[in-house]
């Protein structure tokens, strides 16, 4: 599958992934709602836990704004279930073990950790409107303040 360059204003690429709720989730299932689609490197790591907690803590606000939160990583559904239980996450996490959606959204990047180089998920968030258009793309996300920035984007642009 070739990677297309995603730009704000275009239709978000549709996909189907297994969710932590045991259901298959397609992006197109959420037409009529705003979607916060966030990609993160790994369950139960410090930055990813902080990011998930920040989205959890604002879940009621986003829900009241007709907004769905979907988290995507390459972790298994079993790992997602443990992560959800540990942090009481009220939203669905999607498993992209095959990296299909990660490639579609171009979030796989070369990373160096402890002197070793590998391919990992670059923390990224995509804000999608009710019609399925990409309203805002955040790449190289820093966890601190990110959820507040997402709230501002949603209140300003949608």
Residues known to be catalytic: 48
3-state secondary structure of 38: strand
Asked if residue 4 lies in contact with residue 15, where contact means CB atoms within 8 angstroms, the answer is no
Asked if residue 43 lies in contact with residue 75, where contact means CB atoms within 8 angstroms, the answer is yes
CA dist 41 and 74 (Å) reads 7
3-state DSSP percent of the chain in helix, strand and coil, to 5:
30, 30, 40
- Using H for helix, E for strand and C for coil, what is the string for 66-78? CEEEEEEECCCHH
């Amino acid at each position: 599958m070739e990677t297309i360059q995603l730009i704000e204003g275009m239709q978000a690429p549709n996909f189907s992934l297994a969710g932590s709720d045991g259901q298959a989730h397609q992006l197109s299932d959420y037409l009529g709602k705003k979607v916060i689609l966030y990609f993160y490197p790994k369950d139960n790591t410090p930055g990813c836990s902080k990011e998930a907690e920040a989205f959890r803590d604002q879940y009621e606000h986003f829900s009241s704004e007709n907004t769905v939160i979907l988290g995507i990583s390459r972790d298994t559904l079993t790992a997602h279930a443990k992560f959800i239980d540990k942090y009481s996450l009220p939203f669905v996490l999607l498993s992209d073990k095959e990296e299909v959606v990660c490639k579609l959204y171009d979030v796989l990047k070369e990373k160096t950790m402890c002197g070793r180089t590998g391919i990992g998920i670059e923390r990224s968030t995509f804000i999608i409107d009710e019609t399925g258009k990409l309203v805002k793309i955040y790449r190289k996300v820093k966890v601190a303040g990110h959820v507040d920035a997402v709230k501002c984007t949603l209140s300003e642009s949608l």
